[in-house]
């Protein structure tokens, strides 16, 4: 590191150190007890997947659908990259970006 960058680096470090709270407010902290949910946390009680959801999830897949896609039956309301457009160009094997 050159000497001309030293003041800027020290200022950045000081900003980070002095802007970090020493005492955090009480509340829910993820990871302390991962086997149980905090009291009052929202709970997903059902997942509704209609024909539009399956059409989106199976976009670009030609029937007959392979057995490896049966995981979609167990897919909940969590994020999965399988139902979203990915890379463009030669990597777009499902045709997401040709719409």
Q: Domain residue spans in the chain?
A: 51-98
Average pLDDT over residues 25-30: 62
Q: Which of 53, 54, 44 has the alpha carbon at shortest distance from 78?
A: 44
Distances (CA, A) of 3 to 10, 12, 27, 53: 11, 15, 43, 58
- Taking the C-alpha atoms of residue 99 and residue 91, their distance in angstroms, rounded to an integer, is 15
Per-residue pLDDT reduced to its tens digit, 49-89: 999 999 999 999 999 999 999 999 999 888 888 888 989 98
Highest mean pLDDT out of 34-38, 39-43, 63-67: 63-67
CA terminus-to-terminus distance, the chain:
49
Residue 34 has pLDDT above 80, yes or no: no
In this prediction, residue 91 carries a pLDDT of 92
Q: What is the mean pLDDT of residues 36-48?
A: 82
Global pTM reads: 0.55
Helix %, strand %, coil % of the chain (to 5): 40, 0, 60
Contact 1, 9 (CB under 8 A): yes
Identify the three-state secondary structure at position 85. Answer: coil
Kindly tell me if the per-residue pLDDT of 27 is higher than 80: no
């Amino acid at each position: 590191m050159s000497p001309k960058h030293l003041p800027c680096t020290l200022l950045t470090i000081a900003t980070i150190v002095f802007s970090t709270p020493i005492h955090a407010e009480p509340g829910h902290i993820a990871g302390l007890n991962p086997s149980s949910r905090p009291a009052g946390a929202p709970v997903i009680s059902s997942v509704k997947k209609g024909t539009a959801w399956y059409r989106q999830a199976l976009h670009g897949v030609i029937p007959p659908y392979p057995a490896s896609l049966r995981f979609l039956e167990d897919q909940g309301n969590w994020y999965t990259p399988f139902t979203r457009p990915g890379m463009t160009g030669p990597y777009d094997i499902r045709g997401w970006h040709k719409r």
